[in-house]
Amino acid sequence: MPTYKAPLDDMRFVLHDVLDVAQLSALPGYEEATPDLIDAILEEAGRFCAEVLQPLNQPGDAAGCTYEQGEVKAPPGFKEAYQQYCAGGWPALTADPKYGGQGMPHLMRSVVEEMMCASNLSFAMYPGLAHGAYHAMHTHGTEELKDKLLPKLVSGQWGGTMCLTEPHAGTDLGIITTKAVPAGDGAYRLTGTKIFISAGEHDLTENIIHLVLAKLPDAPGGTRGISMFMVPKFLPTDEGRPGTRNGVTCGSIEHKMGIKGNATCVLNFDNATGWMVGDANKGMRAMFTMMNGARLGVGLQGLGLGEVAYQNAVAYARERLQGRSLTGAKNPGGPADPIIEHPAVRQGLLRVKALNEGNRAFAYWIGMHIDLEHRHPDPARRAESADLVALMTPVIKAFLTDTGFESTNIALQTFGGHGYVREYGMEQFVRDARIAPIYEGTNAVQAMDLVGRKLPEGMGRLLRRFFHPVSAEVEASRADPALAEFVEPLAKAFERLQQATQGVAMRSMANPDEAGAAAEDYLHLLGYVTLGYMWLRMVKAARARLAAGADDRAAFYEAKVATGRFYFAKVLPQVHALAARIAAGATTVMSVPVDAF
C-alpha cells in the first residue's frame, strides 16, 4: 500500500523563504495569520491527511460508491473521516467569521488542499465542492440566503455542488435546456437533467446545496440567457434544519476510470424548488466565481497526485535492486544496485521533483495574490493582483494537471510491471490524475481562454502583470555572476515567450484558427517560463540561506539549488520546441481534409 507524508519542509520553504508569507498578517483581517500559526496549521493538516485520509484512499478506490434507489453511500470510512474533518474545523479555515469561519488567508486553503488531494482525492472533492458553493453564495447570494445557508456550509453540516453539464451540453452551456419557472413567491421551479455532477448525492452531510444553471421562460438565447439557482436536496425549515425532500433525485452514478470514491451523479430536477443567486440572466458570472475557484483547486489536484506518486517512486527506487551502475557497483555487498543509480530512473524522478516543487511555488504564489486581491488596502495593488490571478487561472488548471498526469506516469514507470498492478497503488494515481485535464473545462478550453480572452484583455494588460516582474527578476539577478547558469536560460526562454506572444497575436488577427492551433503549446510555454521564474526565486532564496550559515539545513538548501539546476538544464529547454511548434502556424493542422481522418 502506498504512503504519504506532507512535504512540510518544502511547503515552509516556499511560504517563508520565497514568498514571505509573514506579509499577509499585515493585511486587514489577517492579523492573526502569523508564521507560527501558519506552521501549526501545516503540522496538523499534514497529520490528519497522513493518518486519517491516506489510509482510506486505496480501500475507497476498491469499494467505490454504492447506489440504491436514488441513495448514494460513500466508501466505508469516509463518513467517519468527514466527521473528524468537520470536528477539526477544517471547513471553516478560510471562511468568513460572520458565518462561523476562521478567516484565515486563502493561501492556507491552497496548502491544505494540496495535502488532501495527495492523500485522498476522492474524499477531498466532497468538501472542496462545498467550499465552492460557499464562495459563490458568499459573493452573489442575498443576505437572507447567506444568513440561512452559509453557516451550514461553513460548519460542514451541508455539502454543495455545481450543476452545469447536460447530456447534450458540455462546454457549450448556451444550449442547456433546464428550465426555471417563477413560482410567484420569490422561488422558482426547476426541471431538467444534469450529468457528471461530482458529489451530487452522498451520505456525508445532512443536506446538499446544488447551484444549478437554468433558463427563465423569457431568457435570451445563448449564455446571455443563463441564470443560477440554489436548489437544496431538502428544503430548509424556518429553524434551518433539513425539511421535506425537494424535487431533485439522483438517477444513477457513473462507473469511472478513477476518483471512484467520489460519486459522479446524474441529477434529475422535477419541478424542484430553487432560489435565484445573483441577477437574472447573469448566471454565468455567478457560476464563474465558483468555476474559477474550482479550476485553481483542480490544479492543486495535479500537484498533489504528482507529489504522492513521487514520494512512493523515490522510496521504491532506493530499495529496488536491479543491474549494476554504469560507473561501477554502488552496492557491492548486494546482488545489484538500487535502480535510483541508473541515469534513466534518476532523470525521470528529477523531472517529477522539479515539476512538483516548481508547481507548488507557482500555485502558492497565485494563492497569495488572491489574498492581496481581496485584502490589500491599496486599490492599485488589488487590481494588479486580480489581473495576475485572472491570467494565471487557466494556466494553473491546465499546466499543473498536464504535468501532474505526466508525473504520475513517470512514477508508475519507475515501478516497472509492479506499477501496473494494484498492490503498489501507483496505477490509482494515474487513473485519478487523468480526470483533472478534463473536468472544470478541458485543458484545451483553458488554453483558448488564455489565448482568446486573457491575452487580448486590456491590450495585453494582464500579461504585463507577469512580464514586468519576470523582466525585473532577470535583470536584478544578472548582477550576480554566480547565478548565470540559472538566469540566462530563463532570459532566453522569456524572450521566446515574448516572440510567441507577438506572433500569435498578429497571425490570429488574420486567421482565428491560428489562435486555436497555437493555444495549448502557448499555455505550456507560459507554464514552463513561469516555473523558471519561480525556480530562479527558489534558487536565490536557498543560496541566501546557505550564505547565512544554515549549517543544520545545508543539505536541504543545496538540494534546492541542484534541483533548480536540473530544471534550467533539462526541463526549461522544452520552451524552444514549443516556440517552434507555435511558429509553424495552423496550416498543417487545418489543411488536412476531414475525409483524410
Catalytically active residues, by annotation: 440
180 residue type, one letter: A
Cell of 4: 504519504
Residue 121 · residue 259 · CB < 8 Å: yes
Cell of 479: 548582477
Contacts of 542-547 spanning 24+ positions with Cβ under 8 A: 542/13, 542/17, 543/482, 544/17, 545/17
Decide: helix, strand or coil at residue 293.
helix
Residue 81 · residue 38 · CB < 8 Å: no
Strand 242-245 and strand 188-198: pairing? unpaired
Q: What is the DSSP letter of 264?
A: E
CA angle in degrees (0–180, nearest 5) for 40-34-110: 65
Burial zone of 247 (CB within 10 Å; 0-12 exposed, 13-18 middle, 19+ buried): middle
Decide: helix, strand or coil at residue 31.
coil
Residue 215 · residue 179 · CB < 8 Å: yes
SS3 letters for 10-22? HHHHHHHHHCCHH
Cell of 314: 523515490
